Structure 1
């Protein structure tokens, strides 16, 4: 079963310096019937204007993945980490026992776009994890790239939760297939371009819940960029 969520259905927040599409109840968007999809708690599609960002703030008992779409993200945290990430690169943390961090667009003129994704951890008070990975375009070009997995799997980024994140940049006319094991589900978000997912057309910023599907077939109508999260069906 597929349930398409068109970008027009997402809550749009405009704080001038920050424009966001919230896939789930978050901040000023309060919707008790749309809190999560399985262990996926937050997926925010953010645009951060130049010379602005999120000041130092705390997190705990949440696993957070930030996927950079375009621009430059400057990250700092209470563990002394500081770095700049660009397109296709990923910053992650498992903020179990607690961590402070800031996320800024320090570029003088270029906007920063990113996906910020929060995953429920399997338990509270887990040791803090932090890291990043600089993936290349070639790694995801016309193929599925597994960027995040659980500790027991093989992705470069490993969280505590039983999840897998996949990304791809698919040329127009190309297609990919992904097999789902029983009792697994997927949340799919189209970042750029247009593609057909099991017969459902998705354009930039659209999303789709995939439940009780044995296989996902993704056909790029135009040059496409997408991310999906595979997890246990709850």
Structure 2
């Protein structure tokens, strides 16, 4: 099963300093038929103006992954962490029993990022944070496995049976991705244009996949993120 999600049909918000596309119900965007996909609860595609950001605020019982597309993201939290990451880098926070954090764009350019929330496999975990400065070339014309469950082999490990891959595919190149029996996946066309199983995706579009292999052709240079997980009934 494949279902294209056109970016023009997603929720949106414009606060001036922050412009967002909501893949799932979030903030003022509420659609009872679009709350989550499996254990994936949130994907927000955010554009944050320079010298602005999210002030200190709380979270709990959620696995939060942030993927930077362009610009600089500076993180601070109540655990004493403060770090800045840039394009292609990832930060991970297990909110667990509760944590306060802030996220700012202290650079001179617009910051674009994907904010991803995933339900944990159990509640009441000890809060945790990490950031990972991956080499861009690791995803050049190949799937780069960035995130896995605790028992997986990706650099970032979260408390859920989920795998997250990124890919930068050159124009004219083709690649496959198998979504196996008992599994489902959510793909984001971050940048570029592609044809996936005869369906065209452009910047910021997405696709739900259940138990089906993908054949991806890059019509233009294409940047993807795919979140693969156990199928839910």
CA shift digits 1:118-156 (9 cap, x unpaired): 000111101222101101111011110010000011000
Match of 1:149 in 2: 148
SS at match of 1:190: strand
- Which structure 1 residue ranges, 5 or more long, are not aligned? none
Q: Matches of 1:141 and 1:110 in 2, distance apart?
A: 24
2:51 and 2:219 map into 1 onto residues whose CA distance is 35
Query: SS state of the match for residue 24, structure 2?
Result: coil
Tell me by how many angstroms 1:181 deviates: 2.2
1:168-187 deviation digits (Å, cap 9, x = unpaired): 11100111112222110010
In structure 1, C-alpha distance between the alignment counterparts of 2:76 and 2:15, rounded to whole Å = 22
Unaligned 5+ runs, structure 2: none
Aligned match of 1:15? 15
Counterpart residue number, 1:26: 26
Report the Cα distance in structure 1 between the residues aligned to 2:144 and 2:162, rounded to whole angstroms. 14
Partners of 1:29 and 1:129 lie apart in 2 by 29
Distance 2:174 2:136 in 1: 17
Q: Matches of 1:127 and 1:135 in 2, distance apart?
A: 25
Q: Deviations over 1:57-83 (max 9, x none)?
A: 111000000000000000001111101
Equivalent residue, structure 1, for 2:73: 73
Q: TM-score, normalised by structure 2?
A: 0.98
Q: CA deviation at 1:194?
A: 0.6
Q: TM-score, normalised by structure 1?
A: 0.98
**CA–CA distance in structure 1, aligned partners of residues 50 and 192 of structure 2:** 24
Look up the match of 1:64.
64
* CA distance in structure 2 between the partners assigned to 1:128 and 1:176 by the alignment: 37
- How many residues are treated as equivalent by the alignment? 232
- Residue number in structure 2 paired with 1:176: 175
